[in-house]
Amino acid sequence: MNDLELDEALAGFRDDVPEMSEEMFLLGKIRLEAAVEPAIEPLPEPEPLAVRFEVVGGRGQSVPRSRRPGLWLTAAAACAVLAVGTTLVVKSSGDKGPVPGVHQMSVAQTPSAVTQAPVPLSTPRPSTSYPAPPRRPAAAKGGPQSHTGVRLPAPTVVYNAAGELAVNVADLPVSPGQYLFMARQEWGKPIEVNRNQQLTGTPGLGGYWNEWVPADRSGVWRLDRDVATGMENGPIDGEAPLSSMISGRSRQEGTFEAVGGVYFPPYTSWRNPTPEFVAGLPRDPKALYQRLVNDSADSYDPTAEALDLVGELLGRPLPADLRRSLLQALAYHPWLRIDWNAKTRDGRPAVSLQIDDRFIDHLQEVLVDGATGQLIGTRSTQLYPPNKPTDETIVHWSVVDRVGATS
């Protein structure tokens, strides 16, 4: 076949493909150069991926209108994307095989995407991004009690793929008269015992935190809690009686009811959030990450404390918009690592967001369901022999018809 015959055969090959725009050509060129040679300066970020939520054959499916290739693409693959201009379709839960990841994704705020039950819209995958700068040190061991580590840097560029988990975040549908039920089992979990946020632990002993949240979250919530089953958890010295307690021995063991889930006033924090605290957190990922930078600055290892604060907050019934923003905010953390093939203590598949806490020499993990973006566990593991977990939780979420019901 000569050149003329080949041209005629391929004449209609790309009739249905739009012409390459100057903007996309330049963006693709930048990304291709970044894949071949590390960028000296931070790369400009394109517009986030817009996702349109449709119902196809009775099931939810998302259809991206444009895409952004990750830096992990090889030079050859990037060239193919630029030349052909194909369209990426995010696979639904029924599809098989991986879906190429992107650095950051934002979901169009349609009612169906927020009010329907979570449907796995895509399979998050790791994507290469900017190399992290040298790790900032934790506080030196054995120093004064007031000493702290070096604070985190301000958000500048996306360092990891945590934001990809945000595309699947949605609220479970809770009808009037129903309750969102969170069941958390705990092993050795530190507990907050006073307004100075001093922590104590219950190593080796299991506890639980069962919470019922009404459809109208401004109503009365119920908590059934025991930090260490098999022990009598009486009041701590100086602990005042709580008006929220309806039965039990202390704030560590009992049943509590309170408007908006404010069981343990008067102070509020990431570990003891009030509705006002939750409402006051910014939803912009960069601004939310900067809040984490500020609020973790006074800790022994701010690098690890930021992830720990997110894990504590995700362990409460948060609205979907804040859970989405928290995951996107963690993408700005230079030293966050992601294990896409982790498991919870009870064997469920999980995505592990993890950081080494260099002050206590433990690996801190926040375990997220990759299909829903919900917290399903946490874990703290020794980085020295015998390398065992010392603090672990598993979390289950469901909708029930009455307070006290578990299914």
* pLDDT tens per residue, range 379-400: 999 999 999 999 999 999 999 9
State residue 314's pLDDT score.
Answer: 97
User: Residue 406 domain-assigned?
Assistant: no
118 vs 269 pLDDT, higher one: 269
Q: What is the mean pLDDT of the chain?
A: 75
Query: CB-based burial of residue 180 (10 Å sphere; 0-12 exposed, 13-18 middle, 19+ buried)?
Result: buried
User: Residue 407 domain-assigned?
Assistant: no
Q: Say if residue 184 is in the same domain as residue 113.
A: no
Q: Say if residue 225 is in the same domain as residue 289.
A: yes
Band of pLDDT at residue 250, cut at 50, 70 and 90: confident
Q: Say if residue 199 is in the same domain as residue 69.
A: no
User: Residue 259 domain-assigned?
Assistant: yes
pLDDT at 197 over 70: no
289 vs 19 pLDDT, higher one: 289
Band of pLDDT at residue 239, cut at 50, 70 and 90: confident
| Cα distance between residue 185 and residue 194, in whole Å | 22
Final residue in a domain of this structure, among 85, 104, 123: 123
State residue 240's pLDDT score.
Answer: 74
Q: Say if residue 252 is in the same domain as residue 343.
A: yes
User: Residue 13 domain-assigned?
Assistant: no
Q: Say if residue 107 is in the same domain as residue 229.
A: no
pLDDT tens across 309-362, in order?
A: 999 999 999 999 999 999 999 999 999 999 999 999 999 999 999 999 999 999
User: Residue 134 domain-assigned?
Assistant: no
Q: Say if residue 223 is in the same domain as residue 319.
A: yes
**Is 163 in contact with 328 (CB distance < 8 Å)?**
yes
Final residue in a domain of this structure, among 75, 102, 123: 123
Per the structure, the count of domains in the chain is 2
Final residue in a domain of this structure, among 123, 140, 157: 123
**Token pair listed for 32:** 């291709």
User: Residue 155 domain-assigned?
Assistant: no
State residue 228's pLDDT score.
Answer: 81
What stretches of 35-115 adopt beta strand conformation (E)?
Answer: 49-56, 59-64, 105-107
User: Residue 154 domain-assigned?
Assistant: no
pLDDT tens across 132-170, in order?
A: 788 888 888 876 766 788 999 999 999 999 999 999 899
Q: Say if residue 256 is in the same domain as residue 364.
A: yes
**pTM for this predicted structure:** 0.67
pLDDT at 196 over 70: no
Band of pLDDT at residue 24, cut at 50, 70 and 90: low
For residue 31, give its domain range.
Answer: 18-123
User: Residue 361 domain-assigned?
Assistant: yes
State residue 134's pLDDT score.
Answer: 84
Q: Say if residue 85 is in the same domain as residue 195.
A: no
Instruction: Give Cβ neighbours of residue 323 (< 8 Å, ≥ 6 apart).
Output: 166, 169, 314, 373, 374
| Cα distance between residue 273 and residue 254, in whole Å | 19
pLDDT at 279 over 60: yes
State residue 363's pLDDT score.
Answer: 97
pLDDT tens across 90-142, in order?
A: 333 333 333 333 333 333 333 333 334 444 444 455 444 567 788 888 888 87
Q: Say if residue 271 is in the same domain as residue 346.
A: yes
Band of pLDDT at residue 15, cut at 50, 70 and 90: low
Q: Say if residue 278 is in the same domain as residue 369.
A: yes
Alpha helices in 10-135 (DSSP H): 22-36, 75-84, 111-115
| DSSP label at residue 163 | G
Q: Say if residue 223 is in the same domain as residue 82.
A: no
Q: Say if residue 255 is in the same domain as residue 356.
A: yes
